[in-house]
Amino acid sequence: MLDTLETSQQDTTTTALLDRFDKVRADSLSLTAPLSAEDQIIQSMPDTSPSKWHLAHTTWFFEEFVLAQNLPAYERFHADFSYLFNSYYNSVGNMHPRPQRGLLSRPPLSAVHRYREHVDAAMQELFDRDLLDGDLAALVLLGTHHEQQHQELILTDIKHVLSCNPLMPVYTDCHPPQADSSPMEFMSGQEGPVEIGYQGDGFHYDNEGPRHTVWLHPHALANRLVTNGEYRAFIEDGGYRQATLWLSDGWSKIREEGWTRPLYWSDDLEREFTLHGEQTLDPHRPVCHLSYYEADAFARWADARLPTEAEWEAAVADRPCPSVLRDDNWLHPQAPHDPGDPQFFGQVWEWTASSYSSYPGYRPAPGAVGEYNGKFMCNQFVLRGGSCVTPFGHIRPSYRNFFYADARWQFSGLRLARDL
């Protein structure tokens, strides 16, 4: 009876993993369906990658880490794909330079689709032959979450690509939802020793642990995100011209780049480019596409600061994640329909004042997969909360995103904090 029960539980787990694998793989193709083959080859700046490359790289992950190591007699789809679609796994081998991904007119998109079909068929064989032990199942699960990260990148990257086109192309048509923002108030946060970091037995990335204790000083967090209207007031008050508001590196950056407003805003501060084309700037929506420097400067102007990631996580520890994050119709931050919604999840990635570094006791995973997070723990800042293009099931209170301080093409915004 015990053996039967264990087998039944394993079958259930395998079935759930297969269902998840199939859905995630289908979702990636669905996200690129509105795009032409020409759209999917463009790389508009070194930080972005072509949609075609995302489709291939997420497939490479399963081929390289799962199939080539665990499915006897597996034949790679193409010998050159290991080089072309490796991202940053140096222990696996050499890779095509990231800034030149947009030069890969070959292989064509049709070949990348065949590559996905080839790998998906081999993955189905892996499932059918019941070759998934605990460690291998965990690796497949990691691969699906990795692909969800790239689904978010598909949307953020193609937004930048389309914004560079003077025709202001629309990724998908949609009427913007209407809502009003509530007055900003500050909520007292927890004080003293608190625990942060992932707890439970579900999926999480290695950088979310180990769980540990931190000390929080008296502070308060804003009850909502900063809005377009509030950020426009900062601009109109000369925010981009007051050196005293800016970190030294930030002041150098805005002068070098000529920044005078958030990415995608029009010169007259009346319109913004979205995945639904150019839209009238709604003063009630959360401001987004800000660098860390801009978020920090606004906070200083508002006589506040950015929260630490520990303050943020302590504030959401007992709050459930929303049932919907990415809305397949409206792909832009929106004002809360409920005035009491603090907007902690699924609108913008919130910059924190915390440098991206390891938690006490952190150890990267052995092997090439250990390159996933740990080696990036330098010169970056942590963001929390997920955005309007984060897939459902891919965010947690302990989730730690991270970017360089000058990054603006992500859906990144801010919440204010104050010391008490």
Spatial contact of 75 and 18, defined as CB atoms under 8 Å apart? no
What pLDDT, on the 0 to 100 scale, is given for residue 325?
59
- The CA distance from 310 to 214, in Å, is 7
pTM of the model: 0.94
| Beta strand pairing call for 417-419 and 412-413 | unpaired
Please check whether residue 275 is in contact with residue 171, taking contact to mean a CB–CB distance below 8 angstroms: yes
Q: Name residues of the chain where pLDDT drops below 70.
A: 1-12, 322-328, 371
Distance from C-alpha of 69 to C-alpha of 399, rounded to nearest angstrom: 29
Q: What is the pLDDT of residue 154?
A: 98
Domains of the chain: 2-163 (1.20.120), 186-419 (3.90.1580.10)
Of all residues in the chain, what percent carry a pLDDT higher than 70? Answer: 95
Residue 214 DSSP class: E
Contact 226, 416 (CB under 8 A): yes
CA distances from 288 to 221, 345, 411 (A): 18, 14, 5
Which residues, listed in sequence order, are joined to residue 412 by a DSSP beta bridge?
349
Burial of 282 (0-12, 13-18, 19+ CB in 10 A): buried
Looking from the CA of 44 toward its CB, the CA atoms found within 13 Å total: 16
pLDDT for res 7: 35
Diameter of the chain measured on Cα atoms = 74
* Cα separation, 235 vs 226, whole angstroms: 14
Q: What is the pLDDT of residue 28?
A: 97
DSSP-derived secondary structure letter, 389: T
The per-residue pLDDT for 324 is: 52
CA dihedral 185, 408, 144, 138 (to 10 degrees): -70
Rg from Cα positions in the chain? 22
Structure tokens that stand for 270 in this block: 């009346």
Burial class (CB within 10 angstroms; exposed 0-12, middle 13-18, buried 19+) of 279 = middle
Alpha helix (H) residue ranges in 291-380: 292-301, 309-316
Query: E strands, 240-378, where?
Result: 271-274, 277-280, 349-355
Q: What is the pLDDT of residue 8?
A: 37
Retrieve residue 14's tokens.
Answer: 């395998």
- Rounded-to-integer distance, Cα 341 and Cα 334, Å: 12
3-state secondary structure of 117: helix
